[in-house]
Amino acid sequence: MLLLPSEAPHRDASGPPRPAGRPPSSLPAASAPPPAMKTILAAYSGVLKGTGSGILSALQNRPSAFWPRRSKMEKHLQVFSVLQWVITFLALGAVCSVLLLYIFCTDCWLIAAIYTTWLILDWNTPKQGKCSTGSPTFSHAGSTGPAGYWFLSVGSTYHWGRRSSWVRSWTVWTYFRDYFPIRLIKTHNLLPNRNYIFGYHPHGIFCFGAFCNFGTEATGFSKKFPGIRPSLATLAGNFRLPVLRDYLMSGGICPVNKNSIDYLLSQNGSGNAVIIVIGGAAESLQCAPGMNSVTLKNRKGFVRLALQKGSDLVPVYSFGENDVYKQVIFEEGSYWRMWQKRLQKILGFAPCLFHGCGLFCSSSWGIVPFCKPITTIVGEPITVPKIEDPTAEMVDLYHEMYIKSLLSLFEKYKARFGLKESDVLHIQ
């Protein structure tokens, strides 16, 4: 039988004859490899021939549908970087203490004994430079009881702890910074031949701005203030907990200790700074989104210290620090507020009832902070003379100068970072 040209079987260059009238697309799906496999085969063929750049680069050039979106992966890394710090600060010390006691009750008790022996011998490492025994609590600004806030020590020479530039430069802190995000704004140069006391405002719940800007290199502190190395300090009780103390010291964090602070400002040369979150635990009980209030009116201890050491005062304000968590604020005189203040005196920090968003859903409740930008402004230094025994009038004078400088800093930058022109900073 003769076949017309349109009915003749078609033959592909690389396959058997196909029946007439059947389009190539009607062939079984198994005859054509998937696009991803074609990419791999093409890349492998190129490598064999010496003309390809490699399988990995070929896969990286695949459309986004083949790989998870880069932005989504980065967001997950940002969330986990913040979450690890929150959990570390809240639970690492307690968990490691319980684990150490448990190991004592197992066949591995020798490991726990060796670590405990080393812990005892290394007990004073976080507070080296302490010249006398006594309570590690540093009283400030006329307050009584333990200090429930952060300190930051900045200097060119250090004689305590085990600071690690490698830990401070971890990539995890970059993801930590980008989650909110957090920025550090420099307004004036800091001379390395002077010592400084920074007043950080407001406290917030976890002082994310203070930690990220001054406890890591994520925002480039060393580049913006060359010749000055930051070293963050927190409650001395954190350095009594196993593993947590070593983790903190590796980041250049040291305990709040009066003798250590005195050493930095008087015996460690120039180019040092101590940064104090002035409001402390009392201020953390009042922080809430949209609230612009600092506890400062009766806090004068840091001014007296600056006069005694001849250290310049520098106001620092973080816009957005209060916005990353929502908190239940109890009224003054209520039963719950009474218990908060009582626990604050016992523990050294304020037990706040707060919440953020959930790990997998931003609309749910959890301990992950909200993605709100935090911008830290380092203000202009106030030159302070050295007076070993300043009078109350002198302390009041420089305290008033500091308040005016802080208010001026707030007014100058508030409109640039999300606040209204009508917003004011309340001094309590």
Q: Decide: 408 and 317 in contact? Cβ < 8 Å.
A: no
Angle (nearest 5°) at CA 81 between 62 and 351: 155
Tell me what pLDDT residue 17 has.
53
Length of the chain: 428
pLDDT at 338: 86
326-327/273-277 β-pairing: unpaired
| Structure tokens that stand for 245 in this block | 């103390």
Q: Give the pLDDT confidence score for residue 250 in this predicted structure.
A: 86
**Residue 98: predicted pLDDT:** 96
Q: How many helical (H) and strand (E) elements, i.e. helices and strands, does the chain have?
A: 15, 15
CA atoms of 358 and 39, how far apart (whole Å): 39
Assess contact for 192 and 228: CB atoms under 8 A: yes
Q: CB-based burial of residue 287 (10 Å sphere; 0-12 exposed, 13-18 middle, 19+ buried)?
A: buried
Question: pLDDT value at position 398?
Answer: 97
pLDDT of residue 62: 52
Q: Give the H/E segment covering residue 403.
A: helix 392-413
User: Across-strand partners of 356?
Assistant: 366
Instruction: Give residue-wise pLDDT tens across range 304-319.
Output: 999 999 999 999 999 9
Whether 180 contacts 294, CB under 8 Å: no
Give the residues of the chain that fall short of pLDDT 50.
1-14, 21-22, 24-30, 40, 43-44, 47-56, 58-60, 64-67, 129-160
DSSP code of residue 80: H
Question: What is residue 151's three-state secondary structure?
Answer: strand
Tokens for 318, please give them: 């973080």
pTM for the predicted model, two decimal places: 0.76
Non-local CB neighbours of 201 within 8 Å, separated by 6+ positions: 277, 278, 279, 294, 296, 315, 316, 317, 318, 406
The CA distances from residue 46 to 14, 35, 312, in Å, are: 21, 16, 65
**In contact, 86 and 78? CB cutoff 8 Å:** no
Q: How many C-beta atoms surround the C-beta of residue 272 within 10 A?
A: 28
